[in-house]
Amino acid sequence: MRITVLGTSASAPTKERGLPAVFLEYLGEGFLFDVGEGTQRQFMRFGRSFMKITHIFISHYHGDHVFGLPGLLSTMALYGRQRPIHVWVPERQVVYVERFLRALVPSLPFSVEFHPAAPGVLFSTEGYSVSAYALDHTTDCLAYVFEEAPRLKADKEKLRQYGLHGPVVGRLKAGECVDWRGKRICPEDVVYEKPGREVVYVADTRPVISNVAKGADVLIHEATFLESERQMAVEKKHSTAREAAEVAKALGAKKLILFHFSPRIDDLSLAEAEARERFPDVVAAEDGYTIEI
């Protein structure tokens, strides 16, 4: 699983920073969270393929999070995309985002399927699920949670103790007891459940603690302002870097990635430092920041 933070600026781009977009690659699928203006170029800059995108999740319809959509889809058409693409948008905003796209790009050689997103599970497969929960911004805004299904694993040390190998391990994982070298061995003797990985994407919001996001391996959280600008964060319904760190702590997250910085913040180390006072494993992402988990 690889996560690339493609754009880290809020409201407007800067010379160094593009607008919000985070790309998660997982077993041949590509999940794009938000699509700020210029996202297609960020893919090229950082050596990622936008043709791999299977789903796009829009947090909300403020321009800095959606203006990249028509350009991105048009270029996909130019490159011969045929595979359908799914676009999730908060339910009351679907009509506007869809109209915005269709007005500028009336026809595409592949189907763009818009889905209304609301708090709860959006969809799931055998291997993972994607859920949403409500944030607290000036308009409907959703956080998205990618969660891998738990997996059954065989404890290597125990397999060695019992001398187990080959197809019999598969039978144990499938829930069968087996007779092996004169002993009866059951799944609970060697098989355990490994929890799936969880990635949480939180764009524009005041701090929100949701059970859906508890125990995230990676929390990607907006940090538009510094703590010295807290009043502005409250008025504009955004978070400070320190508040993002407090959210990470309350959620029991393992790692925090800050993004969506006001263009006025030149020195990201200030955001990172104030967050670290509350939560140690934090990084203020530059464009192109990548992590594999």
- In whole angstroms, the minimum distance from the beta carbon of 36 to Zn ion comes to 8
Q: Select the residue interacting with Zn ion from 64, 217, 274, 287 (CB under 5 A).
A: 64
Closest CB to Zn ion among 92 and 160? 92
Check if the beta carbon of residue 222 is closer than 8 Å to that of residue 204: yes
Closest CB to Zn ion among 198 and 204? 204
If one asks whether residue 217 binds Zn ion (CB under 5 A), the answer comes out as no
Q: Which stretch binds Zn ion (CB under 5 A): 62-70, 192-200, 244-252, 265-273?
A: 62-70
- In whole angstroms, the minimum distance from the beta carbon of 234 to Zn ion comes to 15
179 is catalytic: no
Tokens of 157: 């040390």
If one asks whether residue 204 binds Zn ion (CB under 5 A), the answer comes out as yes
- Per annotation, catalytic residue among 64, 204, 217, 287: 64
Q: Which stretch binds Zn ion (CB under 5 A): 55-63, 112-120, 246-254, 280-288?
A: 55-63
Distance CA 233, CA 240 (A): 6
Closest CB to Zn ion among 62 and 242? 62
Q: At what angle do helices 268-276 and 241-251 cross, to 10 degrees?
A: 40
Cβ-based neighbour number of residue 80 at 10 Å: 9
If one asks whether residue 62 binds Zn ion (CB under 5 A), the answer comes out as yes
User: Site mask, Zn ion, residues 233-272, x = CB under 5 A?
Assistant: ----------------------------------------
- In whole angstroms, the minimum distance from the beta carbon of 267 to Zn ion comes to 20
Check if the beta carbon of residue 215 is closer than 8 Å to that of residue 234: no
- Number of residues binding to Zn ion, judged by CB under 5 A: 3
Give the 3-state secondary structure of residue 270.
Answer: helix
Check if the beta carbon of residue 90 is closer than 8 Å to that of residue 58: yes
Closest CB to Zn ion among 17 and 62? 62
Closest CB to Zn ion among 204 and 274? 204
**Could you give phi then psi for residue 201, rounded to 5 degrees?**
-115, 115
* Cross-strand bridge partners of residue 289: 5
State how beta strands 29-33 and 289-292 pair.
Answer: unpaired
Query: Which residues are CB-neighbours of 90 under 8 A, at least 6 positions away?
Result: 58, 59, 60, 61, 116, 117, 118, 140, 141, 142
Write out the H or E segment, with its range, that includes residue 177. Answer: none
Supply the residues annotated as catalytic.
Answer: 64
Binding positions for Zn ion, rule: CB under 5 A: 62, 64, 204
